Structure 1
Amino acid sequence: MIEAIWVDDAVTELRPDFHVLAIGAYGLRNGPSDERSRAWLAGAAAAGVGPDHENVLAWQDAYRAFGAKPQRTRPSVDALVRRLPPPEINLVVDAYNAISIRHVLPIGGEDLAHYEGTARLVRASGEEPFDAMEKGETVIDHPEIGEVVWRDDRGVTCRRWNWRQCVRTRITESTTDALFLLERLAPMSLTELSAAGEELSALLREISPGVRVESRLVSPS
């Protein structure tokens, strides 16, 4: 799965410094939040990172590059550091949210059982379907033309680069195989991106000792 992931040239033109570390985890045994995951989140929150961090500002600039208003639809890491302590979701989501806060980078998680085809980051045509939750019900929405989106063969899996994930591929307590996308812009170094990936992999192995983990750095074309 991760060997086929790609980033479209139209996205690279916006931010040539963009890299994504893709991590595949197979054989997870997820579950509800517990004392371990609460400690991960609390430890990350204790670092006191705020929305004025240079990594957050870089993502705000990236959003403006494709016409989004980051004050209205915030990059995921921006929204997360404004909401400390972060919410408890489940073990796996708590793990990647803790790493996201600690390293100040957006991380997305996808349930591969509900994924179709190859993950790719593209600029939208505006016709792609996106299933969202509104007032407790699933509705079908569409991205704006030119919006940066993650998608698979079925439709958009995450709008505005990393703003909002679709309902279909969310990681739940029943997820066993998952894809994680750790997204980097300068000034974050590739060394720190790699360290974040190693920390996330370690937490996944703590949650599920038998999990198989693989990773790949997707660089600009």
Structure 2
Amino acid sequence: MFESPIIDERIRGIAPGFRAMSIHVDATLAKEGCIDQNFLANACDFVSAGGPSWADAHLASWADAYLQFGSKPNRTPCSAQALRKRVLKDGQIPTINPVVDLYNAVSLRYALPVGGENYNAYVGRAFLTIAQGDEVFETVMNGEALIETPTPGEVIWRDDAGVTCRRWNWRQGIRTRLEAATGRMWFVLESLETMPEDALAEASNTLVDGLTKLMPGCEVLTQRIVAV
């Protein structure tokens, strides 16, 4: 059973145009499939050619949202901006594993943050909220495990055990990191008002199509979530 993510009502004050697609996947009984090996490379080429048309406006909106909660987007940009910068600098990004490559490609092609999480590692529901500053965030620095705490007032994704992603979607924690296309997974595609509504739906459909090809027979639940 999957539980819907919770959006703190205070998020609306930071980003009133926030809306997202939540995708839960159960691949426990799925078969092993594959996706086009050029999917990520093609997305990088699309970005290098200037696409999509709303990219600059949408990523500027994310930078504004980060400023609203005291973060410096040039130092800690949203995940979509970080990926895009790497592609514009180097032309490509390295592959990680098929499922991460898939959602990174969707992020690049649609210029929006996309996260993928190991849902089996969650304790309670996913919650987009404002940090108090005493929450636990498990990460790695110089190859060594490290416990951090977020800055008070920082936007975080968390569950009952601690922070799963800092500065909204800037850095994912290691506890819920998705490393294989098996078990139960959760994906979230996050957008602001400067991304066309139909583009968010298209991005979601593209990800779902890729996931079902990668994991034939998986069960998928898609929900639209907003700041209320």
TM-score range, shorter chain: over 0.9
Structure 1: runs of 5 or more not aligned = none
Segment of structure 1 superposing worse, 160-169 or 184-193: 184-193
Quick check: 1:14–1:65 contact (8 Å CA) kept in 2?
A: yes
SS of the residue corresponding to residue 178 of structure 2 reads coil
1:59 maps to a residue whose letter is W
Question: Offset of 1:189 from its aligned partner?
Answer: 2.0
Q: Provide closer, same or farther for how the CA distance between residues 198 and 41 of structure 1 changes in structure 2, counting only shifts above 3 A.
A: same
1: CA distance between counterparts of 2:37 and 2:198? Answer: 27
2: CA distance between counterparts of 1:19 and 1:37? Answer: 29
Quick check: 1:99–1:200 contact (8 Å CA) kept in 2?
A: yes
Cross-structure match for 1:40: 39
Quick check: 1:108–1:181 contact (8 Å CA) kept in 2?
A: yes
Q: What is the RMSD computed on CA atoms of the aligned residues?
A: 2.0
2: CA distance between counterparts of 1:16 and 1:217? Answer: 15
2: CA distance between counterparts of 1:220 and 1:70? Answer: 21
Aligned to 2:218, which of 191, 197, 211?
A: 211
2: CA distance between counterparts of 1:54 and 1:160? Answer: 20
Q: Provide closer, same or farther for how the CA distance between residues 37 and 128 of structure 1 changes in structure 2, counting only shifts above 3 A.
A: farther
2:161 maps to a residue whose letter is R
Q: Provide closer, same or farther for how the CA distance between residues 97 and 174 of structure 1 changes in structure 2, counting only shifts above 3 A.
A: closer
Cross-structure match for 1:63: 66
2: CA distance between counterparts of 1:58 and 1:13? Answer: 14
Segment of structure 1 superposing worse, 121-130 or 184-193: 184-193
Cross-structure match for 1:193: 200
Cross-structure match for 1:21: 21
Structure 2: runs of 5 or more not aligned = none
Query: Does residue 133 of structure 1 match 2:140?
Result: yes
Determine what percentage of the aligned residue pairs are the same residue. 40
Question: Offset of 1:30 from its aligned partner?
Answer: 9.5
Query: Does residue 93 of structure 1 match 2:100?
Result: yes
SS of the residue corresponding to residue 147 of structure 2 reads strand
TM-score, normalised with respect to structure 1: 0.93
Cross-structure match for 2:8: 8
2:21 maps to a residue whose letter is L
Quick check: 2:114–2:187 contact (8 Å CA) kept in 1?
A: yes
2: CA distance between counterparts of 1:27 and 1:202? Answer: 14
**Superposed CA offset, 1:30-74 (max 9, x none):** 98xx8x454111110111248x72111111111111000011111
Aligned to 2:121, which of 100, 106, 114?
A: 114
1:58 maps to a residue whose letter is S
TM-score, normalised with respect to structure 2: 0.90
Q: Provide closer, same or farther for how the CA distance between residues 37 and 69 of structure 1 changes in structure 2, counting only shifts above 3 A.
A: farther
Question: Offset of 1:163 from its aligned partner?
Answer: 0.2
Size of the alignment, in residue pairs?
218
